[in-house]
Amino acid sequence: MIIDCAIYENGVRRDGKVELEHAYDVRHEPGRFVWIGLYEPTEQEFDTLRREFDLHPLAVEDARHGHQRPKIEEYGDVLFVVLHMIETGETELRVGEVDVFVGRNFILSVRTGVEKGFRDVRARAEREPELLRRGPGYVLYALMDAVVDRYFPILQTIEVDLERIEEEIFAATSPRANIEALYVLKQRLMAFRHAVGPLLESLGNITGARVPGVCGGMQEYFRDIADHLQRLNQTIESIRDTASTAISVNLSMITLQESENMKRLAAYAALIAVPTLIVGIYGMNFDYMPELRWHYGYALVWGLMAAIDGYIFYRLRKARWL
Amino acid sequence: MIIDCAIYENGVRRDGKVELEHAYDVRHEPGRFVWIGLYEPTEQEFDTLRREFDLHPLAVEDARHGHQRPKIEEYGDVLFVVLHMIETGETELRVGEVDVFVGRNFILSVRTGVEKGFRDVRARAEREPELLRRGPGYVLYALMDAVVDRYFPILQTIEVDLERIEEEIFAATSPRANIEALYVLKQRLMAFRHAVGPLLESLGNITGARVPGVCGGMQEYFRDIADHLQRLNQTIESIRDTASTAISVNLSMITLQESENMKRLAAYAALIAVPTLIVGIYGMNFDYMPELRWHYGYALVWGLMAAIDGYIFYRLRKARWL
Amino acid sequence: MIIDCAIYENGVRRDGKVELEHAYDVRHEPGRFVWIGLYEPTEQEFDTLRREFDLHPLAVEDARHGHQRPKIEEYGDVLFVVLHMIETGETELRVGEVDVFVGRNFILSVRTGVEKGFRDVRARAEREPELLRRGPGYVLYALMDAVVDRYFPILQTIEVDLERIEEEIFAATSPRANIEALYVLKQRLMAFRHAVGPLLESLGNITGARVPGVCGGMQEYFRDIADHLQRLNQTIESIRDTASTAISVNLSMITLQESENMKRLAAYAALIAVPTLIVGIYGMNFDYMPELRWHYGYALVWGLMAAIDGYIFYRLRKARWL
Amino acid sequence: MIIDCAIYENGVRRDGKVELEHAYDVRHEPGRFVWIGLYEPTEQEFDTLRREFDLHPLAVEDARHGHQRPKIEEYGDVLFVVLHMIETGETELRVGEVDVFVGRNFILSVRTGVEKGFRDVRARAEREPELLRRGPGYVLYALMDAVVDRYFPILQTIEVDLERIEEEIFAATSPRANIEALYVLKQRLMAFRHAVGPLLESLGNITGARVPGVCGGMQEYFRDIADHLQRLNQTIESIRDTASTAISVNLSMITLQESENMKRLAAYAALIAVPTLIVGIYGMNFDYMPELRWHYGYALVWGLMAAIDGYIFYRLRKARWL
Amino acid sequence: MIIDCAIYENGVRRDGKVELEHAYDVRHEPGRFVWIGLYEPTEQEFDTLRREFDLHPLAVEDARHGHQRPKIEEYGDVLFVVLHMIETGETELRVGEVDVFVGRNFILSVRTGVEKGFRDVRARAEREPELLRRGPGYVLYALMDAVVDRYFPILQTIEVDLERIEEEIFAATSPRANIEALYVLKQRLMAFRHAVGPLLESLGNITGARVPGVCGGMQEYFRDIADHLQRLNQTIESIRDTASTAISVNLSMITLQESENMKRLAAYAALIAVPTLIVGIYGMNFDYMPELRWHYGYALVWGLMAAIDGYIFYRLRKARWL
């Protein structure tokens, strides 16, 4: 599905929505470029684009199949960029993909699997014609910047989740739920690692010594994206590290809890076992057991048991077993 | 065993199956190349090939012995490529090997240890003569692409297995089976790591700055394979990481389960120990124990025991020990 | 808020506080430079600075938003440096930021989030005009040196904390508090890692082969800072490593403690269970039980129980269960 | 002790055993080289060799002291190579050393600490004069190849050991023996890591861009050794990884076993505690306890106990606690 | 404190002890150099040295403050080297520092914090004038070699300690002491890591492609030191790895011990609980309990209890619970 297709001349959008056929013609005129946004295109649309813009079959193949790693690759003059988009779904994260083809006079973005598009990016870009004049390279920057900036709030919810779990770990109320939550959190984090890591690596290709033509004079902009990715990366690594520690701390807390329960259990056992022995003694049937004949024998036994249990209780309380 | 042996002229297969002897002669004519597929060749076949195609003895030695790491090595003009092939056997993965010798006018593939061959690769290649015209370098690409693409579905079954184990870990029904399953899964994953990692490393040799002659003009194709390998690598690392976490989570679950069993055990012990003490008291033989004379003494003891146990039960239930 | 704004001529401060407007003019005269210190500037101040000193919008954007990773970036002739400042807050560390813009004739430092400023740095620098004569590059060094030197005492308090926790781990008195303390310590350490690591990496940009103009002839000074950062880094890694070991040692101590408690518990259980069995025996109601008739039967049972418990106690004490 | 000392002319051995003195003279004649094999030489022999072959004092010092890391170092024209040799001793691995000095016209190998020498290597080399003609560089290759190939079978026994331990871990019969076995296995593996890792690193010196004179034209051979070392390295890493997992799996199995024992213990306790309570009830001395008067009271109690225990048993069996 | 100060001419020491003032003059004469050894110098001595030998203020600052990481830095023509010295103190290791300034005609060594100096190094060097003739670069080598060689015996005591702890772990007698010992051992190891690691890194500066003037022609010597450091490094890593494994093995042993204790405990509990139930049965007060009337009833119960306990004992012994 074609979302939008427009021709830009010196950074200004030509009026009205352009038909694809005209877009193809126009792109050969100097000082102009076409920006086409697609959402889950059909096989047919893919074919047309490939033919008209002379895209490399391997790149088109990648875009068609999806599930690529983020990457920035040169196919002759054309840059092929794969980005992961991450959205919060109902229960877990939804990972989509944008595949961008950038040529001298055109930029095509192919979005799949996520709802939010790039209308706002286009609108903002059109409000800044002096930047848009730089051509498709700037549009690529704007798209990447948008995609990367959208990672931050989602990653932040993961951070907030982790802090909540931490508190619960030390409260030690629901160790089982904590383990599961940490496990799920680590899985969700994986989506970010797969989105951020490879992209950061690939960015070296367009910020390093030899820069592809379409990104010429834009290094500082792409370096800025690299910087954002590095911040994300650092946050991801921190969360990962903390989550691992949290898992092992949780295990310590479980063991500790067990240890304390055992102490309490032992304490109560002592409080019952000793009187049980005493009453056993006076349940014996010896002919000659003077205490049994005493008038206050029974009461004395009660007193004895109370005294012993009192003492045991006092000792255990002091040792913090109770 | 020779599976197939054909001569290609401008990308088109010459009619009929060619005898090995003719293949040797033809390979010196320009614009042509021989493609020979072998399956577990005999010592004699190895010798003939080595002599006729002037292969380096060390490379032939490697192919003969098998059990090599995946690699891409240059011996003069000839490229020697070792690939691991992975098939699902009955109980565990079956790891085979393809050794490929690529020269200017010939390509030999030697397969051992796995059932599935490259008939489909040859058939597809023959349907695309404009690509096959590029020569043995393209055939090498096609073979590598086929081998690498076959890793995906098998790796996916491992991923599915892991997800099933995860569910069982949190269900906590069969911790012992889970440990074993995770252990086996990690072992199976090792086969992939050994297949993918070294190959990815070696691919640098034919996609980097200095490319061997037979792969000239094919960099984008081999980069595509490198990209697939990197995706595999990423998946492998994710599974590995998750499996490690799963092992430690499983241990946490075992400890937790034990802790909960102990609490339940302690709870039941309390429900029995307290009445046991009470009945012990009224089993004492003191002459003067007024309760023993009461008509409803016995019934009262029953009531007392029920009340105490009821109270204990209520408290333990509230504390979630029961 | 503008903290201070002064013009330096051959390393000597011109009398009095300079108005911002004059500062802008003066900066184009050779042999002079402006040093402006700001604290959490307003949007308006940011705009003025950007316009007058011709700062790159992306750098200003970073400074405005804050929460950047430490970095040293070149925007044309201007160096943009981000540093983290760490102060001890009441309960946890307070992480602030200094953003420094260094041009040929000016240096601007923008501090946010921390209380302590750079008055002392400016005062010291003004006492050494022969060094200050080197220009904004030297001021940058002085600022970075001050920021980095302030890390040391705070990191040391973390080290001292760790040593205290270590002692408590082996004393095994409060395992629960230890886990929490170690967890918090690791979190605090993270702030240092984020402050030190990226900065050390970035420093390569101004101590390596190609040095930006404003830092010319200052390599030895910046190398000195790199050296300090490396020492910090080493300390951080040591603490991290030790804290991880401490967490696992703490778990071992918990398990060990549990094991010893269980042994003591078992020992006491034995001391009670055996007499309980004995008194049970003489509570049986058989018609013919000769011991029951003996005059000293009861006393003998007491003796028997004392003897058996004495023996058990002696054995358990020897086995160090008690 | 001099094992063998021979002069080779165009790859062919001169008849008879040569005296050391003649060897020294001959080595200056073109097209010839001396190959001397020594076993734990005396101080005097070391001195003679150093003087006659003009070896660097630091290299000789290393050879004399032994306990070096594997390495390949150039001292002027002379290559100094240290290799570890590993033999299976009675209870643990025996690690010896070969120090090889390779010059333009000579090769000296100094073996210490292991029994097996290089007679077979020399014999095989002498059977292939066309290779031996290449000079001392080829002999170096032959020696290294022999040393490295001898690692494989020993490493394989470690692999077999590990598999045996794995089975026992899951059989869970002897956890204590398993821990010890894994610990010893890891120690033995360390010997291999120390033998393989540094050598692989050093090999870069003679397979890379700048190759020392004595190894000229032999790169493919040394790359083959590097390849073998990489295979060893991979196997070592796999074993290491698996052994670590096995240690943690073993711990899980111990905990699991403990947990299951506790369940069984709790089950039996329940089967005894409940009847104990019941018999306690009918041991009470109340005047009015109707059941005591019933003729079948006693039998009924037996029945009751059997019924309750039967029910408990059934429930526990179903819950797999028994 | 000045330990020694001498002028060397063509590798030979000029007679007598030289006054510092003369040393300064002499150092400008060709073919001569001054070697000054200091121990914890005063501020005043530092100032004199800095002025006379024109040392860089940052380097002097480092030497004055101490607590530097080992490093080798060039300040113009002067090399500034920091080494850690390690001595065995009473309870823990004592880490000192040597700071060496090496110029064309002078070498100054500043030792702090350790007792053992370099008298023996100077004496040995003076006995080898042909080496000493090479100048301050050789003295630097001699000092570094001495410092590094002194690491070996101390590291060996750590290795011996580790072996002793290993034995105790498997003997399982004192798990608590083992944990502490392993923890302390890891801390001690840290001192070595901090001494060896950074120095090895820095050595690249004087053994690599561009060598500072004062070390000219000495690469093989410094490479030898690098080699020693690498051996130390390897040993350190091995100990570290083994100590980590030992900590986790110790935990396994504790858990295992606990598990076995629990089994024994359960076994004894069974031996007591069953007879307790039996005697409880015959303590019941039913009117009609035929066994109570039997003449040998009591004896039979004893027999029954003995038989049951005998059987339980036999079963548990067979299951190795006892």
Per-residue pLDDT tens digits for D47-68: 888 888 889 999 999 999 888 8
Q: Which chain C positions have a beta carbon within 8 Å of A259's beta carbon?
A: 254-255, 257-258, 261
pLDDT surpassing 70 at residue B27? no
Determine the Cα angle at C91 with ends C89 and C93, to 5°. Answer: 45
User: C252 to chain A nearest CA, in Å?
Assistant: 9
Substitution target in C67, C72, C183, C321 with the highest count of A β-carbons within 10 Å is C183
d(CA B207, CA B217): 10
Q: Best of E73, E183, E242 to disrupt the C interface by mutation (most C CBs within 10 Å)?
A: E183
- For residue D264, the Cα-to-chain-centroid distance in whole angstroms is 41
Interface of C with E in 230-249 (CB under 8 A): 230-231, 234, 238, 241-242, 245-246, 248-249
CB–CB contact B249 A247 (8 Å):
yes
pLDDT at E207: 77
* Residues 75-94 in A contacting B (C-alpha not used; CB under 8 Å): 75
How far, CA to CA in Å, does D284 sit from each of B279, B280, B298, C110, E284?
A: 6, 7, 9, 87, 7
User: Which residues of chain C are under the pLDDT cut of 70?
Assistant: 21, 26-28, 209
Least CB-CB distance to A252: which of C254, C291, C292?
Answer: C254
Cβ distance A256 to C73 less than 8 Å, yes or no, reads no
What chains are in contact with D, requiring at least 3 Cβ pairs below 8 Å? B, E
With CA atoms as reference, report the closest residue to C254 among C175, C322, C179: C175
Q: Is the pLDDT of residue B57 over 80?
A: yes
Q: Which residues in chain A have their CB less than 8 angstroms from residue B287's CB?
A: 292-295, 297
Assess: ipTM above 0.90: no
| pLDDT single digits (tens) A208-220 | 767 787 887 888 8
From chain B, pick out residues whose CB is under 8 angstroms from the CB of D162. none
Q: How confident is the model at residue E215 (pLDDT cuts 50, 70, 90)?
A: confident
In this predicted model, which residue has the larger pLDDT, E19 or B223? B223
Residues 30-69 of C with CB under 8 A from A: 56, 58, 62, 67-69
Distance from CA of A64 to the nearest CA of C (A): 35
Q: Which residues of A touch B166 (CB under 8 A)?
A: 183
Task: For residue E242, count other CB atoms closer than 10 A to its CB.
Answer: 22
Burial label for C107, CB within 10 Å (0-12, 13-18, 19+), is: buried
Pairing mode of beta strands E32-39, E106-112: parallel
CB contact under 8 A, D285 and B280: no
Question: Measuring CA to CA, which residue among A228, E248, E267 is closest to residue C67?
Answer: A228
**B254 and D CB contact within 8 Å:** yes
- Phi and psi of A290, rounded to 5°? -55, -40
The answer to whether the pTM exceeds 0.90 is no
Tokens of D22: 């003649």
A197 phi and psi angles, rounded to 5 deg? -55, -60
Residues C199, C188: Cα–Cα separation, whole Å: 18
Average pLDDT on E44-55 reads 89
From residue A296, give the alpha-carbon distance in Å to each of A180, A299, A301, B291, B301: 60, 5, 9, 14, 21
Closest-approach residue (CA) in chain E for C221: E58
Give the per-residue pLDDT at A27: 64
Instruction: Say how many C-beta atoms besides its own lie within 10 A of residue C26's C-beta.
Output: 18
Q: Are strands B2-9 and B12-13 parallel, antiparallel or unpaired?
A: antiparallel
User: Chain B neighbours among A 196-225 (CB < 8 Å)?
Assistant: 198
Ranges of residues in chain A with a pLDDT under 70 are 21, 26-28, 209
Q: For residue range A110-141, what is the model confidence (pLDDT) as tens digits?
A: 999 998 999 999 999 999 998 998 899 999 99
| Per-residue pLDDT at C308 | 94
Helix pair angle (B119-126, B136-171), 10° resolution:
130
Residues 113-142 of A with CB under 8 A from C: none
Instruction: Name subunits touching C (3+ CB pairs < 8 A).
Output: A, E
Decide if B176 and D288 are in contact by the 8 Å CB cutoff: no
E283 reaches C (C-beta below 8 A): yes
Q: How far apart, in whole angstroms, are the C-alpha atoms of residue B37 and residue B17?
A: 12
Question: What is the rounded CA–CA span in Å between residue B104 and residue B118?
Answer: 21
Residue A282 to residue B281: CA distance in whole angstroms: 9
Amino acid letter, E24:
Y
Q: Which of D71, D95, D176, D200 to mutate to test the interface with E (most CBs of E within 10 A)?
A: D176
CB neighbour list of residue D101: distance below 8 Å, 6 or more residues apart: D49, D53, D55, D59, D63, D78, D79, D80, D81, D107, D108, D110
Mapped onto helix, strand or coil, the DSSP state of residue B113 is coil
* Distance, CA of C117 to CA of D34 (rounded, Å): 75
Containing H/E element for C221? helix C219-281
Determine whether the interchain pair E190/C238 forms a contact, defined as Cβ–Cβ distance below 8 Å. yes
Cα–Cα nearest to B101, from B155, B59, B157, B131: B59
Furthest C-alpha separation in chain A: 123
> Helix (H, G, I), strand (E, B), or coil: what is residue D73?
strand
Q: How far is CA A291 from CA A205, A299, A301, B284, B293, in A?
A: 97, 11, 9, 11, 19
Pick E279's closest partner by Cβ from C246, C281, C287: C281
Q: Give the Cα separation of E81 and E73 in Å (integer).
A: 6
Residue contact D176–E253, C-beta within 8 A: yes
Q: What is the per-residue pLDDT for B140?
A: 95
State the average pLDDT over residues E282-310: 92
Q: What is the reported pLDDT for B200?
A: 92
Average pLDDT over residues D74-97: 90
Confidence of residue B52 (pLDDT cuts 50, 70, 90): confident
Q: Is the dihedral of CA B66, B70, B74, B77 positive or negative?
A: positive
Q: Looking at CA atoms only, how far is residue B113 from chain A in angstroms?
A: 31
Residue with tokens 């794969």: A82
Hey, what are B238's tokens? 């994710």
- How far apart CA A70 and CA A200 sit, in angstroms, is 9
Whether A258 sits inside 8 A of B259 (CB atoms) is: yes
> Which of D234, D239, D254, D256 to mutate against chain B (most B CBs within 10 Å)?
D256
Of E248, E255, E266, the CB nearest to D247: E248
How far does C36 lie from chain E, in Å, by closest CA?
27
Element (H or E) spanning D198, and its range? helix D175-207
- The verdict on a CB contact (< 8 Å) between C289 and E298 is yes
Give just the sign of the alpha carbon dihedral B154, B157, B162, B165.
negative
| Token duo for residue B227 | 């990209």
Work out the end-to-end distance of chain A between its first and last CA atoms, rounded to an integer number of angstroms: 69
Task: Please state the rounded mean pLDDT for residues E65-79.
Answer: 90
C-beta separation of C151 from C83 below 8 A: no
C247-272 residue pLDDT tens: 888 888 888 888 888 888 888 888 99
- Rg over alpha carbons for chain B, rounded to the nearest Å, is 35
Contact C254 A255 (CB under 8 A): yes
How many CB atoms are located within 10 Å of the residue D43 CB?
Answer: 8
